[in-house]
Structure 1
């Protein structure tokens, strides 16, 4: 049962992580600052998950990136593109709709 639950939980988290990451890129963030922001909200994400996700989002043109070399350690900053902002707005609406529908469905399951 634990293996099945872990697999299903991983599937459930996969899509929500994309929404969570996009929601935090309204202002430029570098990888570690993004991990911290998410963890402060109770969402843990491994760097081995985050960086491939950021690269995919950049390839989809939902985020843009740029290097900041003004400090001793260069950092790559990511921020929502115009398309990314539009997609985020639509995903938020879809998330709210699906969450409400699922909540109603699960609430009916226990007779509440």
Structure 2
């Protein structure tokens, strides 16, 4: 088993792109940052607010999210939503994720199959 620091660094790297895809998928309906943090966590994506908010701003700057301020409540909230471009990217990433998942499963299956293909 790798040491904790090494494992943590590689898990962070592995999960970085998955959070982008998760945000694009969740934000097919408008949502604000804090609620998105909660939904991501409940779905198994542990994300820190200091990571999420810059990510949302970057995705918006890239045209993958749109945003609007809701000032009707006592505390203004910025609501984000996946743009058309973001939805197209999410679909492409989801397709690629499925292909990668299949490739990893094939690798795993091959390591458990005895040489010569015998069961």
Same fold at TM > 0.5 = yes
**4+ residue runs over 6 A deviation:** none
Aligned to 2:117: none
Residues 1-112 of structure 1 correspond to what in structure 2 (within 5 A)?
1-111=3-113
5+ residue gaps, structure 2, are 115-119
Q: Distance in 2 between matches of 1:11 and 1:32?
A: 23
Unaligned runs of 5+ in 1: none
Shift, 1:36, TM fit: 1.4
The alpha-carbon deviation at position 70 of structure 1 amounts to 0.2
User: Any idea what the Cα deviations from partners look like across 1:43-80, whole Å, max 9, x if unmatched?
Assistant: 21110010011011011100011100000000000001
Look up the SS of the partner of 1:12 in the other structure: helix
CA distance in 2, matches of 1:107, 1:73: 52
TM-score (normalizing by structure 2): 0.88
What number of residue pairs does the alignment pair up? 112
Separation in 2 of the partners of 1:54 and 1:83?
Answer: 15
Over aligned residue pairs, what C-alpha RMSD do you find? 1.3
Deviation at 1:109, TM superposition (A): 2.5
Encode CA deviations 1:54-109: one digit per residue, 9 max, x unaligned: 01101110001110000000000000111111111111101111111112112322
1:20 and 1:68 mapped to 2: Cα distance?
Answer: 23
